[in-house]
Amino acid sequence: MSKLVFAYKGRYWVRDSRTLETLSAMAKAAGHTTSLAYDPDLFGVSDNVLSLPWLNRLLFDPRKTAVKAAASGADWIVLLENLTNRPWIENFIKILSESHYKGRIAMVSCRGEASIGGEASIGLLGEPEGVFGGFLKALPGQLPQKLRGEGLADLDALPLPDLDLFAPYEDFRTSYMAYAGKGCSGACSYCEEPYYRKACGPGYARLRRPARVIEELAAVKKRFGTREITFKDSVFTADKAWLKEFLAFYKTAIGVPFKCFGRADAFDPVTAAMLKDAGCYCVEFGLQTFNERIRSSVLKRPETLEAVQKAFAACAAAGLAYDADYIFGLPGESVADHLEAARRFSALAGLNRIKCHNLVYYKGFGVTDYAVKGGYVDEASVEAGDFFSGDRAAPGMRGADSAFRKLFKLYGLPGGRALGLAASSGLWRAFRFIPAFLLKPLELLGGLLRGDRRFFVYLKNYPLRVLKVIVE
Ligand code: SF4
């Protein structure tokens, strides 16, 4: 039996944390003990609530998690590589060595052979759950320097996630993050899903059986008394037959309000009505821009704007709130695009929130090649920043981006009519000067006034999380 310590830096509400929970459950099922060395990256670039990296640097010692992991007596420290955390992993391993860590290091990655250096004792390549199963079978014997997973894991056969890993940090009673499956069939040039699909192989985008997902949710609800669920699948509405079967189960067996992600070309009035009937309180759509040329030629979005408008209208007709994702910093966008977006947002019925993101240029992504070739970004800025912080727009657009970002984030307060007025009158320019320390409370207030459940979750959990990490 081995002692495994999973090390992770970043917010909980992403696929990596769920992957680690599953790997931990697999290790426990094989008779090993597991624990977590965790840096929540509070206020860091991955914090989607309050990203203030300077405060993060001021308050937290970046070495602490690695020093703790080194002192844990672990036989294995397991690291999971994603698109952006390679520098963190390298530094983590360096600190382990400086702290005289005696055990071994396993690095799980689906980024390919090139990404595994000599730092780790073993590189586990391929879909994490598949290759980790092979690793566990090989323990405690002689291990090669690299192990490659063959094919994809059977999602239904995997153990349910080990929630003990993050339970000390996350409040699963207030809200639970669920994944019904993995992946998306889309090929958007700026998204990680096509990247992972290509890296893990054909068939990567798949769903678990409805009954298996319900089994997980029922266990979570029983243990934590969970009151809300967010399905984090990139496109929860992709398979209508699956959705119909699942929602029928969900309504009777789970029955708590939930949120999910939809894609406009996989959404219609029947879908909206089914979701609403089963307790869905909000669907989030990837709009990104109203500029049809950028959407289709640069971002490679699979659906037309007309389909998006129809999906929004279907939600409004069903009385189902919806969020629209909007990305700033797109190559070639202009102030006119933001003005047009404001005009269109202001005319929408039932829109709950405009979720603002920043484009991130990852190596190997279609949008990155397009932007580098077109001179929209220099290679040194590739992979800088995060979805939530750091504007990589053309310098001439940053002022306007800042103003519209604040205007859109505050949509919840004045509503659509005032948004349209601010855009058409030129008042939008003044929003740039709203200080960051005022923006968050105002955004929170707007969300609460609209009755957005996510903001109630933030309000309840975030201060506790800050307190917990500071006390630690
Ligand atoms: S539809 Fe959404 S999840 Fe799918 S590839 Fe495009 S951006 Fe990614």
What separation in Å is there between the alpha carbon of 65 and the centre of ligand 1? 33
Same domain assignment for residues 317 and 232: yes
**161 inside domain:** no
Q: Is the CB of 410 under 6 A from ligand 1?
A: no
Helix (H) or strand (E) holding 97: helix 86-98
What is the CATH number for 10? Answer: 3.40.50.2300
User: What digits encode the pLDDT tens for the residues 57-79?
Assistant: 777 778 999 999 999 999 999 99
Cα dihedral 412, 416, 418, 420 sign = positive
Same domain assignment for residues 261 and 389: yes
Parent domain of 405: 171-471
What is the CATH number for 327? Answer: 3.20.20.70
**367 inside domain:** yes
Q: Are 47 and 72 in contact (CB under 8 A)?
A: no
CA atoms within 13 A of residue 273's CA, in its CB half-sphere: 4
Same domain assignment for residues 42 and 113: yes
Same domain assignment for residues 186 and 314: yes
> Domain total for the chain?
2
Nearest atom, ligand 1, residue 301 CA: 6
**162 inside domain:** no
Same domain assignment for residues 140 and 192: no
Q: Provide the b/e sequence for 148-180 (b: ≥16 CB within 10 Å).
A: ebeebbebeebbebbbebbeebbebbbbbbbbb
Q: Is the CB of 44 under 6 A from ligand 1?
A: no
Same domain assignment for residues 149 and 236: no
Same domain assignment for residues 86 and 207: no
Same domain assignment for residues 182 and 275: yes
Per-residue confidence in pLDDT tens, the chain, 472 aa: 899 999 999 988 899 999 999 999 999 999 999 999 999 887 777 776 677 777 777 777 789 999 999 999 999 999 999 988 888 999 999 999 999 999 999 999 987 666 666 678 899 999 999 999 999 999 988 888 899 988 899 999 999 999 999 999 999 999 999 999 999 999 999 999 999 998 888 899 999 999 999 999 999 999 999 999 999 999 999 999 999 999 999 999 999 999 999 999 999 999 999 999 999 999 999 999 999 999 999 999 999 999 999 999 999 999 999 999 999 999 999 999 999 999 999 999 999 999 999 998 888 899 999 999 999 888 877 766 555 555 667 778 999 999 999 999 999 888 899 999 999 999 999 999 999 889 988 988 988 888 888 888 888 877 777 777 777 6
Q: Is the CB of 193 under 6 A from ligand 1?
A: yes
Same domain assignment for residues 138 and 199: no
What separation in Å is there between the alpha carbon of 308 and the centre of ligand 1? 14
Q: CA-CA distance, 1 to 280, in Å (whole number)?
A: 43
pLDDT of residue 345: 97
Same domain assignment for residues 144 and 188: no
Q: Is the CB of 191 under 6 A from ligand 1?
A: yes
What separation in Å is there between the alpha carbon of 190 and the centre of ligand 1? 8
Q: Provide the b/e sequence for 385-412 (b: ≥16 CB within 10 Å).
A: bbbbbbbbbbeebeebbbbbbbbbbbbb
pLDDT of residue 462: 76
Q: Is the CB of 188 under 6 A from ligand 1?
A: yes
Q: CA-CA distance, 130 to 132, in Å (whole number)?
A: 6
Q: Is the CB of 263 under 6 A from ligand 1?
A: yes
Top mutation candidate among 234, 284, 359, 362 for ligand 1, by most atoms within 8 Å of CB: 234
What separation in Å is there between the alpha carbon of 126 and the centre of ligand 1? 21
Residue finishing a domain among 125, 155, 185: 155
Secondary structure letter of residue 386 according to DSSP: B
Structure tokens at 13: 């509400």
Ranges of H-type helices in 139-209: 192-200
- Assess whether the previous peptide bond of 257 is cis (omega < 30° from 0): no
Q: Is the CB of 266 under 6 A from ligand 1?
A: no
Q: Is the CB of 234 under 6 A from ligand 1?
A: yes
Same domain assignment for residues 355 and 290: yes
**165 inside domain:** no
- Which amino acid, 63? R
Secondary structure letter of residue 205 according to DSSP: S
Residue finishing a domain among 155, 186, 213: 155
**373 inside domain:** yes
State in Å, rounded, how far the first CA of the chain is from the last one.
30
Q: Which residues contact 300 (CB under 8 A, 6 or more apart)?
A: 187, 188, 189, 366
What separation in Å is there between the alpha carbon of 390 and the centre of ligand 1? 22
Q: Is the CB of 197 under 6 A from ligand 1?
A: no
What separation in Å is there between the alpha carbon of 5 and the centre of ligand 1? 32
Residue finishing a domain among 126, 155, 184: 155
pLDDT of residue 384: 61
Q: Are 212 and 156 in contact (CB under 8 A)?
A: yes
Same domain assignment for residues 99 and 188: no
Q: pTM of the entire structure?
A: 0.93
Q: Which of 274, 275, 301 is nearest to 288 (CA)?
A: 301
**263 inside domain:** yes
pLDDT of residue 114: 63
Angle value at C-alpha 250, between 164 and 196, nearest 5 degrees: 60
Hey, whose CA ends up nearest to atom 6 of ligand 1?
188
Nearest atom, ligand 1, residue 185 CA: 4
User: What digits encode the pLDDT tens for the residues 338-389?
Assistant: 999 999 999 999 999 999 999 988 888 999 999 999 998 888 777 665 555 5
pLDDT of residue 44: 76
pLDDT of residue 460: 81
What separation in Å is there between the alpha carbon of 36 and the centre of ligand 1? 30
**DSSP characters over 140-154:** TS---SEEE--S---
pLDDT of residue 178: 98
**163 inside domain:** no
CA-to-CA dists, residue 299 to 30, 129, 292, 463, angstroms: 43, 30, 10, 37
- Number of Cβ within 10 Å of residue 209's Cβ equals 15
Hey, whose CA ends up nearest to atom 8 of ligand 1?
191
**160 inside domain:** no
pLDDT of residue 390: 59
Q: Is the CB of 303 under 6 A from ligand 1?
A: no
